[in-house]
Amino acid sequence: MHETTMNLNSSEIGILLSALQLVELNEEHRIAKEHGSVPTLYNKLYTELEGIKYSDTQKYDHEASY
């Protein structure tokens, strides 16, 4: 397996999360056999999105304190 790093913004991650929610169960099983778990990927992306939102909140809170 090859890994790569990509820079995605919160909107792009949101698109991927939305698309993953639309995957039907039979397709999810096929994808799992060929590539891996859809829920695992969803959770990984969701966690990343939450981290982005948290860091943005911290950034704005820090800026507002001046």
pLDDT at 55: 80
pLDDT at 9: 95
Separation of alpha carbons 46 and 50, rounded Å: 6
Separation of alpha carbons 21 and 44, rounded Å: 14
**How many angstroms from the chain centroid is the CA of residue 39?**
11
The CA R_g of the chain, rounded to the nearest whole Å, is: 16
Separation of alpha carbons 10 and 40, rounded Å: 18
pTM for the whole structure: 0.78
- Pick 66 or 26 by higher pLDDT: 26
- Residue 23: both structure tokens together: 């995957």
**Least confident interval from 8-12, 28-32, 62-66:** 62-66
